[in-house]
Each structure stands twice: as structure tokens, then as C-alpha cells.
A and B are shown apart, each in its own frame.
Chain A
Amino acid sequence: AQSVTQLGSHVSVSEGALVLLRCNYSSSVPPYLFWYVQYPNQGLQLLLKYTTGATLVKGINGFEAEFKKSETSFHLTKPSAHMSDAAEYFCAVSPLTGGGNKLTFGTGTQLKVEL
């Protein structure tokens, strides 16, 4: 079984400030981990993913995330927020093997960027 917890349904930052979106997961098998962004009335766009190898993963639009197995975390960060980053962000996990390859999503975090 697997689950994802995103702490903070709403996060507000000033433009230029650090963005930190938290994600903790639970998985009985080694996981793949993902961060997606969703703009209103659109599908999901992959920001980055962790499969194996380097635990610090760099994605699009300046985002990165670090897989910390000991903390079962995969927090998303961006050094400097931009107005265009305002959107809904979802963390997701899928099993490395088995489980029907299903993605399990967190409840999402709405990021607001203020001037």
C-alpha cells in the first residue's frame, strides 16, 4: 500500500522568495516519486520525477526536489518564486514494481505568489 501526504493545502509566498512544498510518502516497496503542476481547467504537467540514482532531482521551471529515504520525504523547492508559478501542485507515488503501476496522489497544494 502507498500513500502521499502534502502538508499545507495552501502556501503563499512573495515573488522572489523561496518556494517549499512538502510531501511525505508511505510505500511498502521502493517508490517512484513525482511532482506535477496543474493550472486551472488543465491536465497535469510533470515537473520532475525520482526513479533511481541521484536523490536531488532537477525539473523544469527551476524546480527541484530531494528524495530523503530516511525521512520518507520528497519536498519540492524553487529558490525564487515567479508569478507564473501560481498553480496547484500534486505529489504522487507509484511502486517501482507491481501495484498495477498506479499513481497515488496527495491532496494537492495551492501555491499563491504575491507581489
Chain B
Amino acid sequence: GAVVSQHPSRVICKSGTSVKIECRSLDFQATTMFWYRQFPKQSLMLMATSNEGSKATYEQGVEKDKFLINHASLTLSTLTVTSAHPEDSSFYICSARGGTEGYTFGSGTRLTVV
């Protein structure tokens, strides 16, 4: 079946630094990838939709300059949290559209900003 690899699974960074999260589709081409943020005990909040070779589309209220998304190839999308602050601490999940399941999710990244 379709597999999406997301790295790192956990990261701790200092306030003010940037963190990059990678999302790779391993056995299929993903023209569209989605980035979600999940707060404890809550549902997934869509942050942005990235399409290969074009600019990401951000949801209302999501700062595009803080959450930089790059989708340079059909198998890789990255989310960079710039100048991270403690309030950016969260669980981030990517999803790729494609494969037999329709949408395949990565295993998530727990970001802690200290």
C-alpha cells in the first residue's frame, strides 16, 4: 500500500530557531500534499495545501511567512516553521493525496519549542 514517511518524529528546538519537517511519498507520486496541525485532544486543523511546482495555498489565519511550505518534487514536501516560539509547539501531520487509500498520512512530528 501507499506509504508516506514523515521526519523527524520528534524535535525540540530553541525559541527563535527554525525547524524543517519532511514528508515523502515512498511508492507513489503525490501531486498534492496537505499539512495539518493537531492540538492535544483535538481534531486536525488543515494549515495548507501544497501542489508540486506551485505555491502552497494557506488556510485562513495561517501565517504563510511563519510556516513555509515547499513541494519541489512529486515525492517530497517540506514544512519549515520559522522563528519558532513556544506557541508553535504542536503535533504536525502531513498527508499525500494518491495511492489506493485516497489520502495517506505521515506518522506525525511532535514539535516542542523551548
Q: Which residues of A contact B (CB under 8 A)?
A: 32, 34, 36, 41-46, 49, 51, 90, 94, 100-103, 105-108, 110
- Residue pairs across A and B with CB atoms within 8 Å: the count is 52
B67 lies within 8 A of chain A by Cβ = no
B91 lies within 8 A of chain A by Cβ = yes
Cβ-defined contact, B32 with A43, below 8 A: no
For window 12-49 of chain B, which residues contact chain A by CB distance below 8 Å? 32, 34, 41-44, 46, 49
Cβ-defined contact, A101 with B97, below 8 A: yes
Q: How large is the interface on B (under 10, 10 to 19, 20 to 34, 35 or more residues)?
A: 20 to 34
Contact of B108 among A43, A46, A101 (CB under 8 A): A43
Contact of B32 among A42, A101, A105, A106 (CB under 8 A): A101
Contact of A103 among B9, B34, B42, B108 (CB under 8 A): B34
Interface string of B1-18 (1 = CB under 8 A from A): 000101001000000000
Cβ-defined contact, A41 with B97, below 8 A: no
Contacts of B32 in A (CB 8 A): 101
B78 lies within 8 A of chain A by Cβ = no
Cβ-defined contact, A42 with B103, below 8 A: no
Cβ-defined contact, A103 with B95, below 8 A: yes
Question: A44-B105, A46-B104, A106-B43 provided; 5 other pairs, C-beta below 8 A?
Answer: A41-B108, A43-B106, A44-B95, A100-B49, A105-B44
Interface string of B90-114 (1 = CB under 8 A from A): 0101010100011111111010000
Whole-angstrom distance between the Cβ of B105 and the nearest chain A Cβ: 4
Whole-angstrom distance between the Cβ of B15 and the nearest chain A Cβ: 23
Cβ-defined contact, B105 with A43, below 8 A: yes
B83 lies within 8 A of chain A by Cβ = no
B57 lies within 8 A of chain A by Cβ = yes
CA of A105 to CA of B101, assembled, Å: 16
Whole-angstrom distance between the Cβ of B36 and the nearest chain A Cβ: 9
Cβ-defined contact, B93 with A108, below 8 A: no
Cβ-defined contact, A108 with B42, below 8 A: yes
Contacts of A105 in B (CB 8 A): 43-44
